[in-house]
Amino acid sequence: MSNVKYLTCLFIGITAICITASSVQAVPPGKIIDWKSPMGRVVFDGKKHADKGLECGRCHPAIFEQKKGADNFRMTDIKIRKFCGECHNGTDAFSATEGHNCKRCHKK
């Protein structure tokens, strides 16, 4: 293979990798992130947020780290508008601290 063909193939391969990496979602459609909490399993569905027009960069990495399990937070953090509470404050999105909304995130 000539150097030109090799470099062309290499360029195309690197470009494909970069495009794929930039479009990867932390929570692809059909998948969820869940974790245990004292109030039951917490479920986060990235698709629900994406369907509302939100992009991953809105929360990552400014509010949440992108690596699963990297953030350790509690409801006390959310109540003072950190993590989920930054948007789920009753103005931008449903309030995460109003009792009737608990089941929207916490599953038994």
The DSSP code sequence of 55-67 is -GGGTTTTTS-SS
Instruction: Indicate the pTM of the whole model.
Output: 0.68
Query: What are the structural domains, with CATH classification, of the chain?
Result: 26-107 (3.90.10.10)
3-state secondary structure (DSSP) of residue 4: helix
Q: pLDDT at residue 9 above 80? A: no
Summarised one tens digit per residue, pLDDT across range 10-47 is 455 554 444 434 344 456 666 788 888 988 899 888 88
Q: What is the pLDDT of residue 69?
A: 82
